[in-house]
Each structure stands twice: as C-alpha cells, then as structure tokens.
A and B are shown apart, each in its own frame.
Chain A
Amino acid sequence: MNLDLTAEQEAIRRTVREFARERVAPRAEEMDREEAFPYDLVREMAGLGLMGLPFPEEYGGSGADTVSYALAVMELARADASTAITMAAHVSLGAMPFYLFGTSEQKERYLVPLARGEKLWGFGLTEPNAGSDAGNTQTKAVLRDGKWIVNGTKAFITNSGTDMTAGTTITAVTGKRPDGKPEISNLILPQDAPGFTRSKKYRKMGWRASDTRELVFTDCEISEENILGARGDGLKNFLTILDGGRISVAALSVGLARGAYDESVKYAKERHAFGKPISKFQAIAFKIVDMATEIEHAELMVLKAAWEKDQGRDFVQSASYAKLYAAEVSHRVVNDAVQIHGGYGFMDEYPVSRMYRDQKINEIGEGTNEVQRMILAKLIGL
C-alpha cells in the first residue's frame, strides 16, 4: 500500500492552493455579499487548465487524473465554495457528459471549448417536482420533422445563465419503453435555441457567487442530432455522471471543512479569554482536534474513491460513502467553527459565517444524505 501522492498530484495541489490563497480567498467575502459571478477568476482558472482538468489534451483538457481533480476542488473550496462549485459543476456535470457519451463530432464541437474554459455548460436533471426521484422527469420532447420540440422546466441548474454559458444538457421523456415506463433521453440545449428561457439568478443562502437558475422550455426547437448518447439511455447516463459528481461534492465538503478549521485554529490562538488564548482550554482544543480528525478521515475517503475511479474500478460505493461522510463532517465542522468564534462567528466579516451558510447544500446537492443512505443500503444488500 502506498498513500503518497505522485509528484504531479503534489504539484497540482500546491499550485491550486497558492492560486486559491492568493487570488480567490481575498475576494470571497465580497463575491458572497454582492452575489457576483467571478468571470475573471473563471478566466484565470481556464488559463491554469482547471476548467478541463481531467480531460485529455486532445480535447483541450489538462490530462490530469481524478485524484488531482479532487485535490484541486478541495483547495478551491478551502478558500471559497462558490468558486469551487463553479469549477466542479462545469467539469464533472457540464463537460463530463460530452466526454463520456458524446460522438467524436460532439466532443469536438462541445467538449473542446468547455475543457479550455472558454464556455460554461449546465446539467439539467432536477425539476421543480423531480429531485431525489430524478426519474420522475416531466420535461417532454417530441420528434417532429427532424426537430425535437421540448417542453418543461428544470430547477437549480448551476452555470446555466452566465454570459459565457453556451447551453445545458437535459433529461427529457422522449417516448414510452416497451415495458410502459417513460423513455428518457439526454438532449443538448444550446443557449440560443428558440423557446429556451432562463430565470434570473436564484437568491441563495450559500454558494451565492455561483450562477444557479431555473430553465424553461416552451415549444423549444432543437435539431434531431442534438441527442447525447443513445435514445432511452438518458437517466442511466446522467446517474453515471452523478456517481462521479459525488467525488466533487465530497471534495468540496472536505475543502470547506478545512477552510473552517484553518480559521478556527487561527482564531483560537489569537483570541484571549480568562487570561490566555482560548486554544489552551480543553473545551476549544478538543473541538479543534475532533475537527482535524474527521477532516483527515473524510479526505482519505474522498481520495480513495478518486483513486478507484482512476484505476478503472467500480467506485460507486466509495464515492457514496465519501459524499455522505464528508457532507456530514462539513456540517459538524462549520457548526463548531462558528461556536469557537462566539459572537464574531455570527458576523458577516468573519469567513466562518459564510462557510456556515455555504455548507448546507453539501448535504443536498448530488444526492441528499438520505439518497446516499438509500444507495448504500441497496449496495450493502439490505
């Protein structure tokens, strides 16, 4: 067994850490307050190769592995969860479907500009009435005269409405299977398709500098060739994407927790009460030690899932464990981080207050804690 990172993985972690510390962290408070999407940071991340991190160079990517990807997401989230989700959703939800299911022509046309970070792309699975039961999609598409006519609504779609967004891939019911169940396919919806409109940005509790919108399709027309993967494979393929996406949110949770931990250590050493730094009181020190222990644990779980994916093994169970545990760890850590900060932790100018708000979605996005438990119960054989 060998738990060392490779020289490249170590170098990528160090580079993203420096970038996050120098370029992202100083902006996080303002971006959160203003709900400002950081176009310039996205351009810089594109320049570094982060927006296409795991894709081969021939498709405009950096050719790095999943372990490097997880490390990069952790380091970004340590500084700012909004920036991390913008990058992670773009890579693992926006671009990945083209890489895994696209024809070579679709890869050339869609994946290359996405991997280069020139454009962003959304992933349209969730609907107002189809969340955890993602198969209950109500969006419908009918093939008529060589065109798909799409009608329906998608909810909470990340990166779907920025000035650099080129489109969203969605699930839609495209017919009925022989067994009577709905046939679900993936369709490619370019931003300028007639009948495709986007809401204003949602106002959110956390991830406020990320772009999240509702998408509405009203007799929206796209070409017949805008189907991704085989007809009828849409739900299966999107759930495969979510398996990988769990590594993203698990990494994001670890990074966020690490950021809250960093702040707690710093504050506990600076803040004096009863004549000494509060870090010298066991009540505080033990909280911090518990944080460190749980973060270490969660990080190892994330890296294991990423490593299994890189080995080409089945990583579904590990990814689900990692997502569930890391999300819950991030909950406990931000809670204690605010507690350690006392009244200051409740104030906007302290990063832990933003982290507290940014944390909750980790337990909801890419499958709630409850959905993870359902998946795991099934995998365990219960």
Chain B
Amino acid sequence: MKIVVTVKLVPDPNAVRRIDPATKRLVRAGVETALNPFDEYAIEAALQLKERLGAETTVTIFTMAPESMKESLRKALAMGADDAVMLSDPALEGSDVSVTSYAMAQALKKTGFDLILSGALSDDGNTGGVPGALAEYLGVPGLTNVRKIEEIGDGRIKAQRETDSGYQVVSGPLPALVTVTMAVGEPRYASLKGIMGAKKKTISTLSAADCGIDRLVGSDGAKMEVVSIAAPKAREKARVVEAEDGAAGAQAILDFLRERKLV
C-alpha cells in the first residue's frame, strides 16, 4: 500500500509571528521552517499503519513548497517515512486554497497513492480547506477528522470520525483521503538512527510542468484575495481587588460575577 502524507512547511510555531502589511503574508525571513504540527499527527498515523500492514507499505511525504525548504522535510524522514516528493515551482507562489489543491492533485496523480493522510489544518494559514478540495480534485472520498483507522485493505477503509458528541464509523473505497485529529496518538520523536539514516533517503522534486499543471496558478490564479488584516484586540488589563479579609474578597468576586451576569 502506498501511503502519501501531505505536509505543509510552516514558520516555527514557537517563534513570534509577524505579518508584513505590504504583502499581507507571514514574514518568514529569520524564522525557522518546521513541519505543520497537525501534519505530524498524520505522519504518526501513517507510520502506525506501516507498522500494522508490514514491509510492503510505504510512506511518502508530499509537500508543495519552495525547493529551499527541502531540508525541513528531513524530520519526517527521520521519524520513519520512506521518501519525500516536493512540488516546487516559482509559478505556484501566492496560491490560495483552490489553486493549491488543484496543483497538489495534479502532482499526486503523478506520484500515485492508495491513501492520502493529512493534518486537519495548517498552523499558519488555518483555513482547513485544502484536504477537502484536494479530495474533490482527485475524485476520491474524503474522510475528515478521523481519530482511528479501524480497518484498511481489500480496496476499502473503515474509520472513526470524531464529532461534537461522539464518533461515527464511516467506510469508503480506496484510494481515499483522510484527515486525522490529535487522537491518533502523539507524534513520535525521531530516533537517532532515524536521524542518521534520513540523509540517505530521497527527496525528489516535481515542477508545475512535470505534473501537467496547465491552469493559471500562484497569485495570478488565486480566486481569493486577502483584503485586509487586523491584530486581535488587546485584552483589557486585569482588575486587582484588594480585600480586607476572605469574606470581603468573596463578596468582591460575587459582585464582579453578578455585574457580568455570570451568576
């Protein structure tokens, strides 16, 4: 079985983020690039499946990103993925959800897959739109918010989808696309052996032309435009109440809660 995990390379989630008001994009200069944390859960799910299904199952990491970010994929390979494929083309810069999904679909048709695993959303863009659109472009079922893959094989997949009130068991034909939740299990640490071995693994690159991408892509093809950006309102300063004793303190808290109609 060929499992492809789609990952996004995002600015280090622990770094302070800044948006360039001119381009309305995240400033990436001087900020390290990391795997989108949600996608690490998809990698974990893929590696669990590989352990379950045995040696004939392969895990390929797929990303659409500038080639300069290539080395940031090593972590995924160190975790245990077999190889990686990048779709890199300057023409893709500035792609929105729709164009990104179209371009990814063209590339994934080329690489081939039985199962695509993906994080539910990205840490930077936060749209959560790509996996669904990607499934549409590929014409495969999209199973979203999966917490557990119950069965896979004989051309079908059966999985538990997380909902607000519990979970649904859904089933569909393969090939399919699955987005996972954090319930699949904490992403494993890369072992030292994995790190040492990752440099020998292949990261290949596809251009837009390689994948037969013939529509307008990048910012020229984007249908959505960021019109303006605004910082969230700063939180009000906390009110500090100094009370004579416990009873007065309790009264102050009660008054506060009543004033806000919380009790």
**A interface residues, Cβ below 8 angstroms from B:** 7-8, 11-12, 15, 18-19, 47-50, 53, 57, 62-64, 68
B71 near A48: Cβ-Cβ < 8 Å: no
Considering the complex, give the chain B residue whose CB is closest to the CB of A65.
Answer: B196
List 5 A–B pairs whose Cβ atoms lie within 8 Å, in order of A's numbering: A7-B74, A11-B198, A12-B192, A48-B192, A50-B192
Q: B211 in the interface, Cβ–Cβ < 8 Å?
A: no
The residue on B at minimum CB distance from A44 is: B189
Q: Which residues of A contact B198 (CB under 8 A)?
A: 11
Residues A48 and B75 in contact in the complex (CB < 8 Å), given A7-B199, A62-B196:
no
Question: In the assembled complex, how far is the CB of residue B203 from the closest CB belonging to chain A, in whole angstroms?
Answer: 12
| Closest residue on chain A to residue B194 by CB atoms | A49
Contact bitstring B182-223, A, C-beta under 8 A = 1, else 0: 000000011111011011000000000000000000000000
Taking a contact as CB atoms under 8 Å apart, the answer to whether B195 and A8 are in contact is yes
Q: Do residues B196 and A64 form an inter-chain contact, with CB atoms below 8 A?
A: yes
Q: Could you tell me how many residues of chain B have their Cβ less than 8 Å away from some Cβ of chain A? A: 13
Q: Is the CB of A11 within 8 A of B78?
A: yes
- CA of A50 to CA of B191, assembled, Å: 8
Majority secondary structure of chain B interface residues (helix, strand, loop or mixed)? helix
Q: Is the CB of B193 within 8 A of A15?
A: no
Residue-wise, chain B 80-91 has the 8 Å CB interface mask toward A (1 for contact) of: 000000000000
Kindly list 6 other residue pairs between chains A and B, CB separation below 8 angstroms, not including A11-B78, A15-B195, A62-B193.
A11-B75, A11-B190, A18-B189, A48-B189, A48-B192, A49-B192
- A50, B192: Cα distance in complex, Å: 7
Q: Closest residue to B34 on the A side, CB-wise?
A: A14
A19 neighbours in B (Cβ, 8 Å): 189
Q: Bound complex: CA of A57 vs CA of B196, how far in Å?
A: 10
Q: For the complex, what is the distance from the CA of A11 to the CA of B75, rounded to whole Å? A: 8
B residues within 8 A CB of A50? 192
**In the complex the two chains form, is A62's CB within 8 Å of B75's CB?**
no
**A62:B191 contact, CB within 8 angstroms:** yes
For A47, the closest partner residue in chain B by CB is B191
Alpha-carbon distance A47/B193, docked complex (angstroms):
10
Q: How far is the CA of A324 from the CA of B189 in the complex (A)?
A: 34
Asked if A62 and B192 sit within 8 Å, CB to CB, the answer is: yes
